Homo-oligomer: A and B are copies of this chain.
Amino acid sequence: MTTTIKDLGEIELLNRLKKYMSCGQIDDDVAEINTKNKSLLINTDLLVEKIHFSDEISNAKDIGWKCITTNISDLICSGSENITSFTVGLVLPPNTHWKWVENLYEGMLEAMQEFGGEIIGGDCSSGETKMISITAIGEMNLPRLHRGNALPGDYIVSTGFHGLSRLGLALLTSQKLPSEAQLSPELINRAINAHKRPYPALEALKALIACKPESISWRAAGTDSSDGLIESIRGICQASNCQAVLSKTSILKDTDWPKDDIWDEWLLNGGEDYELILSLPKEWAKSLSNKLKSAKIIGFIKEGKPNIFWDNLEKTKIGQSSLFRHF
């Protein structure tokens, strides 16, 4: 049975979607947020079919997971560990199968079960192309991470390694690899999983909060590496008006990652990784890299016009990955 959205009609579609929502918004158009005296963080992301997702690469459940987790990552890398609510705007062509929509929401719920939050409202409409608009809300905590909070003398910390998602995309779309290399089945598996099921760094944020030395303030800079490792550091340098010096040998790779240097491009500019990239006072950075196994100090911040160097003073190539040119 392939029931389409057109078969259902708008009223029945909205009725079916209600089971995925918290009980607040059954009869009304708006939803309530009980703020419990906390300030909130809010983030809106758009995902457009063929640009951000496609049924050839991912099934609807994976797409649902991904659109929630990428939003969550933006909240986490701003310091929010308590994700509370989502609204979901959904544009669907009339011939979309109901099963696709059901799987999409199930993937979203799986992500919320893992990281927190519930759907409190939304809207849907027909349209020529599938489009998902997610607004995510979380409580504001300390540290309030900003790209613009870095200071000279900080250490730069990455909470995990990069490049897997880019490799996963290449494997899923049969793209040419940087070089002919024998990839282990485990690496292939991890890469595809990283691309289909991104996993935001909530545990890393919790470790960051738990390990702050008492003697220093909550000032910390941070972002996620969703646009690539180098791009995330470029963002910190730009917003903080400083320079980063990176140690290439300190940048972690998956144990099975090909040794050939040409593969570094995906490590540095692959994108769609969801690690925290932090600029922290030295003591805090050391504390975090001790506490969190996957975290590594990969460089430091110094004064100067925004730029990124390797520790041999070579300038990095920081051309933005073509992946993220949407226009």
Within 8 A of B (CB), among A110-141: 120-129, 131, 133, 135, 137, 140
Q: Roughly how many angstroms separate A1 CA and B122 CA in the complex, as a whole number?
A: 38
B135 touches A27 (CB 8 A): no
Residues of B with C-beta under 8 A to A94: 327
A219 smallest CB distance to B (angstroms) = 15
Interface presence of A292 (CB below 8 A): no
**Among A5, A11, A32, A133, residue most surrounded by chain B Cβ atoms (within 10 Å):** A133
Interface presence of A326 (CB below 8 A): yes
A130 smallest CB distance to B (angstroms) = 10
B44 touches A122 (CB 8 A): yes
Q: Roughly how many angstroms separate A71 CA and B40 CA in the complex, as a whole number?
A: 20
B29 touches A91 (CB 8 A): no
Q: Roughly how many angstroms separate A35 CA and B32 CA in the complex, as a whole number?
A: 13
Residues of B with C-beta under 8 A to A34: 39
B29 touches A74 (CB 8 A): yes
Interface presence of A209 (CB below 8 A): no
Residues of B with C-beta under 8 A to A43: 29-31, 87, 121
A125 touches B48 (CB 8 A): yes
B27 touches A123 (CB 8 A): no
Q: Roughly how many angstroms separate A50 CA and B122 CA in the complex, as a whole number?
A: 20
A133 touches B46 (CB 8 A): yes
Within 8 A of B (CB), among A79-94: 80, 85, 87-92, 94
Residue of B nearest to A73 (CB): B29
17 A–B pairs (Cβ distance < 8 Å), ordered by A: A6-B327, A8-B327, A26-B239, A28-B147, A30-B41, A32-B39, A32-B40, A32-B42, A34-B39, A42-B85, A42-B137, A43-B87, A44-B123, A46-B89, A48-B125, A127-B131, A131-B131
